Chain A
């Protein structure tokens, strides 16, 4: 995660990003709307790929695109209906690529293109309280930190040729988890101290330097999400989008 450095300005508004971040998993993995919302399960992956490319995150975008194309080809070429183990594996792969992957790509896009300032502003505009927003931004700040710590500890273990690895599984766990926790605790303490001297606890109304105007692309994407939810709600009342279109 957190690949690449940030561009000057995001293509879309932080609020739009947060809405997409919640909407994609709901429809692609949570299966809202069922068969009625099928059209959106095709549109949303394209949206996440498009956003990745436009934010110049070529690597993630290309990987996503290639996997997506590969799956679609495999899907149409391979015979369906068989019940072997190969078939099951294929379906699991298809499930991951069409469901999980676009959501993961959207997370990559949002995390790599959203500054903390934007994130906090977006959350505030969505009426989410600080007690959620601040820990959330710490979580995103902390994932790469933990990654760095794990890498350093793994390196030290390889270098020392730690022999107790073979003794038992609990040992491996203990000798990895404990230093990570120790370091995290220390970093956390220092982080809090630094943040407090930078006015984190200030009761004043927070300002923000990011641009939160809505542009055409924001309205378009928000409308798209709105349509998806509309289809879902209608389907709950027995009005099926699929049939309506056919009529």
Chain B
């Protein structure tokens, strides 16, 4: 059993004094008891403190993240605060949000063994457990691979498996699906369902509810560092999607994005036509070992101009590569794209497409929000830049460093840059991954704003709610077809 007794926590960065304490994610007066074998979902808007709560349970607070801690966290009668992290590691496994940063090892099998090796479990036992886990999680094909050749979905599977090899009693999931597409999310669901069936204690912090909804025993709704609602299974069944959106939560019953019905193009639409687009690594003698999951071969795809088009795919292969090819970033793509009856060459596309990447950290370079928009304008013009910032509601942050913004704000800043670039086509790669309901709605409204400015908006997304909220056209993407 996990007990939090009147716990309050405020983050303190290492070099600052108390006055500059980070309020985001702090907790105040939390009382919570979680029974052994239950599956609890923590949810609430970004920054509500649900990740902080998980960190208190796995011991990262206070042993890794420093701050002011009051109250006590007790697991099976033992207080976590005085237990070193490696002790907690025997009992508690954590899967984190970012698939790129949670592996210590370069190869998958070492990663699976890592925890048990550190804890000094006998080699033969570790080997047989890896064997078992690979069997039950159906990941035999992922053993002995380099993590740099895995998709995000495969990486999350390995992360879950690496936990499983250690046989923890308690499993914590910190937004594990944030970077995953629909297909991979459903696969993740299968693994979590196994844990639930086996009667392990599972605690998940998530925005996306649909894939876990029928497994959950209890939902703890948080806001601003407090628990504001605590639903048991019976109360949950009574909640409709409407109730949820009123609580600022995501829908519990999302259809697969490919099943949403929207036209590809209508007869009145002007279109951009992709007669053919081919991209892929050469399959030569030398490259046999390369994993070819980025091959693209598309014929006769039409995209409506001046509309918001969603691009969805049954599984996530090649979508990002497709966007790269479309906006002209891939030199080796062979394409035949027609706009207004004339060919649309790669060089021209490079100047008329703007892409907002999935990880916006990679595309913000300067030291202030205003400067970021200024360098995107064809001619620096402060008034214009301020006007654009106003439209995305960021004027009050104009002097801030872009990296000091929250995830949703960074997304908006990137959109501001897209507007400033005065380009006609704006591409988005999973703009709502990891965003809560409120921020998702904001982004959806901005999409409509862009459309009203006459831009063609093309969004690769797996977020059904988001598609329903703003998209007008939809293309089901098949990387080879």
Contacts and interface: CB of A to CB of B under 8 A. Distances in A.
Q: Do A's and B's CB atoms come within 8 Å in the complex?
A: yes
Given A116-B107, A158-B350, A179-B365, A199 B102 contact: no
Contacts of A195: 104
Interface residues of B, number: 76
A43 B305 CA distance: 64
Interface in B162-217: 162, 166
B365 A175 contact: yes
13 contacts: A58-B286, A116-B114, A144-B106, A158-B329, A160-B376, A194-B102, A196-B63, A199-B119, A200-B104, A201-B85, A204-B86, A204-B119, A209-B109
Contact of B104 (A116, A153, A201): A116
Interface stretch (B72-80, B143-151, B430-438): B143-151
A163 B379 CA distance: 10
A205 B86 CA distance: 13
A134 to B, nearest CB: 9
B90 interface: yes
A209 B127 contact: yes
Given A2-B148, A6-B146, A162-B375, A156 B357 contact: yes
Interface of B: 58-60, 63-64, 84-86, 88-90, 92-94, 96, 98, 100-107, 109-111, 113-123, 126-127, 130, 144-146, 148-149, 162, 166, 285-291, 324, 327, 329, 350-351, 353-355, 357, 359, 361-366, 375-376, 403, 417, 421
Interface residues of A, number: 63
A240 interface: no
Chain A binding surface SS class: helix
Contacts of A77: none
Nearest to B365: A175
A198 B107 CA distance: 16
Contact of A5 (B114, B120, B146, B162): B146
B101 A191 contact: yes
A143 to B, nearest CB: 9
Contacts of A87: none
Contact of B117 (A144, A153, A190, A207): A207
Interface of A: 2-8, 56-59, 62, 115-118, 137-138, 140-141, 144-145, 148-149, 152-153, 155-164, 175, 178-179, 182-183, 186-187, 190-209
Given A190-B98, A191-B102, A198-B115, A6 B362 contact: no
A194 B103 contact: yes
